[in-house]
Amino acid sequence: MARKVKPPRMRIGKRIKEGEVFKVKVRFEHPSFTGLGQVDTESDPMFNRAIPVSFIRNMLVYYGDELVSRFSMTSAIADNPLFTFKLKAVKEAPVKVVFIDNEGERWETTGDVKFA
Amino acid sequence: MSCKHFDSRRRFLRYAMIGGIAVPVYSSLGLLTTAHAKAFNFAADPDNLTDMELMHLPKVTLPPVVEDGSQAPIQVAMDHPMDDDHYIKSIQIINFTDPVQTKGKFYFTPANGEAFIGTQVRLNGGESQVWVVAECNQHGKWAVSQNTKVAAGGC
């Protein structure tokens, strides 16, 4: 199955005050499928491997040079997920999010934290 | 067959027989379940939460009915401090009835300021009980569950 992947996009609020906790949203258009197919729909659900699995395995969040979060995921994450998480505004520095999928491919997106 | 080998086989059967009696007795006393339950903390009385429970139990937002199981939105928030010596280490999302049970494990540090995650997961069709486990670096793992009904399975 052809994979349609678009580079991730990040959204950070523009009016961030020093010391406050702010939200970061990251959208990554990456297909995700378990690769499982239902063998028999009438009995108890039975699954087998129908197609190759594809998913975002890791998401790493850096604030400045520091790794602040690591999200470890499985094929049960949705297609094209939108991740929302929070950070504490302690410095004006870039926020970098790195995605690594199950095939080891890597994408990243960056946003700047600037105090209002 | 050597005498020594025969002896060890006999010993194995004796141990297997003792084990066959001991394990069901041990389980029926509830010792296994108690040991497992001690790994996780739950709300003793969900209508009357203690301060400790309010702080450590994750607040899960999941719609009661999910139309599309391949895009089930879930949001987990915590009212827990994120101090250097006392913080939420991780949040894990699990559904034991799905073919892929663990959805993800999200690791945090005090630099997050707040343990919060919003994402979309795949859920199998039908009734689902989604478990969220939060791990505090001082007070262990805390689990809550949320029921939802999935119209079209997404696995």
For B53-61, what is the mean pLDDT?
96
Tell me the three state secondary structure of residue A21.
strand
Q: What's the domain count of chain B?
A: 2
Range of the domain at B19: 3-37
B82 and B22 in a common domain: no
Q: Which of B80, B73, B127 is nearest to B103 (CA)?
A: B73
Q: What's the domain count of chain A?
A: 1
What's the average pLDDT block by block, 10 residues per block, for chain A (116 residues)? 84 93 97 80 68 92 97 95 97 97 96 93
Residue of chain B whose alpha carbon sits nearest to that of A36: B155
Residue B99 has pLDDT above 50, yes or no: yes
| Residue B22 banded pLDDT, cuts 50, 70, 90 | very low
CATH number of domain containing A70: 2.60.40.10
For B48-64, what is the mean pLDDT?
95
Average pLDDT along chain B: 83
B75 and B11 in a common domain: no
Interface membership of B118 toward A (CB under 8 Å): yes
Tell me the three state secondary structure of residue A70.
strand
In this predicted complex, what is the ipTM? 0.90
Predicted pLDDT at B121: 96
8 Å CB contact of A21 and B114: yes
Rounded Cα–Cα distance for residues B63 and A74 (Å)? 21
| pTM to 2 decimal places | 0.82
Rounded Cα–Cα distance for residues B89 and B135 (Å)? 6
B72 and B11 in a common domain: no
pLDDT in tens, B105-148: 999 999 999 999 999 999 998 999 999 999 999 999 999 999 99
Joined tokens for residue B44: 């003793």
Strand extents, DSSP E, chain A: 9-12, 21-27, 36-38, 47-49, 56-63, 66-73, 82-88, 94-101, 106-112
B114 and B86 in a common domain: yes
Residue of chain A whose alpha carbon sits nearest to that of B95: A76
B113 and B57 in a common domain: yes
Predicted pLDDT at A35: 81
End-to-end CA distance of chain B: 52
Give me the amino acid identity at A35.
G
Which chain B residues contact residue A78 at CB under 8 A? 70-72, 119-122, 154
8 Å CB contact of A76 and B109: no
In the beta sheet, which residues pair with residue B118?
A84, B75
Residue B61 has pLDDT above 90, yes or no: yes
Which chain A residues contact residue B70 at CB under 8 A? 78-79
Which chain B residues contact residue A90 at CB under 8 A? 111
Predicted pLDDT at A43: 61
Range of the domain at A22: 9-36+48-112
Percent of chain B at pLDDT > 90 equals 65
Interface membership of B90 toward A (CB under 8 Å): no
Give me the amino acid identity at B54.
L
Rounded Cα–Cα distance for residues A116 and A11 (Å)? 16
Predicted pLDDT at B25: 41
Residue B8 has pLDDT above 70, yes or no: no
B97 and B26 in a common domain: no
Residue B7 has pLDDT above 60, yes or no: no
B138 and B104 in a common domain: yes
For B76-81, what is the mean pLDDT?
96
B18 or B110, which is more confident?
A: B110
Task: For residue A74, give the nearest of B104, B114, B118 by CB distance.
Answer: B104
Residue B63 has pLDDT above 70, yes or no: yes
